[in-house]
Amino acid sequence: MKKAEETYRIIISGGGTGGHIYPAIAIAKAWNEKYPESEVLFVGAEGRMEMQKVPEAGYRIEGLKIAGIQRRLTLENLNFPFKLLGSLQKAKKLIKNFKPHLVVGVGGYASGPVLFMAQRKGLPTLIQEQNSYAGLTNKLLAKNANAICVAYPEMGRYFPASKIKYTGNPVRKDILDIADKRTKALAHFGLNPDQPVILSIGGSLGAKTLNQALLHSMEDFETKGYQVLWQTGKYYFEKVKGQVKDSGVKGIYPLEFIKHMDLAYAAADLVISRSGALSVSELSLVGKPVIFIPSPNVAEDHQTKNAMAYVSQNAALLLKDDKAIDQLGSMVHSLLGNQEKRDHLSQAIKTLAKPEAAKDIVKVMEELIQ
């Protein structure tokens, strides 16, 4: 390896959801901490959330006109070959001009064209697969990738075993140590320290079923003395806020988006969550009892597979999406009434955590450049 002060050029490609974007930013930050003179260029898909989130984190990003194929026949599908060809050409140009030492793909639409063109030029490439189920693009790219960093064991079902590095998913640093933040967290959200706190997180856009289940149960939660810190997502916020206000129920706090997730986790006695890769990885570090309600509207039902990796180790509970509205209230009440069960879940989920994931991925990147 060169000295830390020398310059490397790294391309990180992909995005589409927070589950791809936040690990990508965490990798970039971990690399820049060790090699501060390095240049990191992100490549995303135009119109997707990475085009906003990456610049907010202080990094430059280029956009490709690329989108996925719809599962039904649409005009967008007819445009797909042209968008793909244009994206491949732009990716080739970006690689030629930037001259990266290494290209990292984190999944999402932009990852495919960039890694494909980098591999054609013989550049070192690394895939970071967040989920317990590998998507088609990553499986195809894996054949010519130099390394594949995964968050779950037994990923040899999808990738060449010799290339797999079990690193875990990189997460935000601020959630690594929340033990001393509870008093501050309760004050920040205006919560009563003498009542249990339920945290519900359904992703930045929101989860319809989680919101419906909480609306269905909120009067019962008030009666039992529970408080609910509730990230509704931007699609549902106004409607949920109105229904909570009209109901007159107390102790229910809907928020469009929770910016200080470290404080939200610190305040929680119990977490209800979708089981996207980033959420699952964060919750293993947080070490709170969790009820996962996997989204059924994802490729290959990968959220259920993510959750089952933890449920099979008795480290979390699973509630199916189609049962959530009817059964969430009773499951929450049963768990909040059983301290021993909550303690067991907290301890078990922590054993599956990978707190040094970003640093471990950096080590793999170093090996590939070397």
Which residues pair with residue 50 across a beta bridge? Answer: none
pLDDT at 76: 64
**C-alpha span between 169 and 20 (Å, rounded):** 10
Over 60: is that where the pLDDT of 69 sits? no
Q: Which CATH superfamily is domain 9-169+356-369 in?
A: Glycogen Phosphorylase B; (3.40.50.2000)
pLDDT at 101: 98
CA atoms within 13 A of residue 83's CA, in its CB half-sphere: 18
Residues in Cβ contact with 33 at an 8 Å cutoff, skipping those fewer than 6 apart: none
pLDDT at 300: 80
Cα–Cα–Cα angle for 95, 109, 112, nearest 5°? 45
* Range with lowest mean pLDDT among 100-109, 196-205, 257-266: 196-205
Q: Is 249 exposed, middle or buried (0-12, 13-18, 19+ CB in 10 A)?
A: middle
* Annotated binding residues for UDP-N-acetyl-alpha-D-glucosamine: 17-19, 131, 172, 204, 258, 277-282, 303
Over 70: is that where the pLDDT of 3 sits? no
Strands (E), the chain: 9-13, 39-45, 60-64, 102-105, 125-129, 147-150, 164-166, 197-201, 227-231, 252-255, 270-273, 290-292, 317-318
Domain boundaries along the sequence of the chain: 9-169+356-369, 174-350
**C-alpha span between 157 and 189 (Å, rounded):** 44
pLDDT at 173: 80
Over 80: is that where the pLDDT of 205 sits? no
Q: If you average pLDDT over residues 35-60, what whole number do you get? A: 94
More confident residue, 7 or 124: 124
pLDDT at 108: 86
pLDDT class for 7, splitting at 50, 70, 90? confident
More confident residue, 357 or 2: 357
Which residues pair with residue 337 across a beta bridge? Answer: none
Over 90: is that where the pLDDT of 144 sits? yes
Mean pLDDT over the full length of the chain: 92
* Range with lowest mean pLDDT among 62-76, 144-158, 320-334: 62-76
Over 90: is that where the pLDDT of 71 sits? no
Over 60: is that where the pLDDT of 2 sits? no
Question: For the segment 287-330, what is each residue's pLDDT rounded down to a tens digit?
Answer: 999 999 999 988 788 899 999 999 999 999 999 999 999 999 99
| Residue whose C-alpha is closest to residue 201's, from 258, 251, 252 | 258
More confident residue, 328 or 78: 328
pLDDT at 67: 72
- The hierarchical CATH code for the domain 174-350 is 3.40.50.2000
| Residue whose C-alpha is closest to residue 269's, from 364, 178, 356 | 178
Over 60: is that where the pLDDT of 128 sits? yes
More confident residue, 73 or 303: 303
pLDDT at 292: 98
**Which strands, in side-by-side order, build the sheet including 60-64?**
60-64, 39-45, 9-13, 102-105, 125-129, 147-150, 164-166
What CA–CA distances, in Å, run from 86 to 92, 112, 119? 10, 13, 18
Say if 9-169+356-369 and 174-350 have the same CATH topology.
yes
Question: For the segment 237-295, what is each residue's pLDDT rounded down to a tens digit?
Answer: 999 999 999 999 999 999 999 989 999 999 999 999 999 988 999 999 999 999 999 99
* Annotated binding residues: 17-19, 131, 172, 204, 258, 277-282, 303
Say what percent of the chain tops pLDDT 70: 94
Query: And the tokens for 5?
Result: 């002060």
Strand 227-231 to 197-201 pairing: parallel
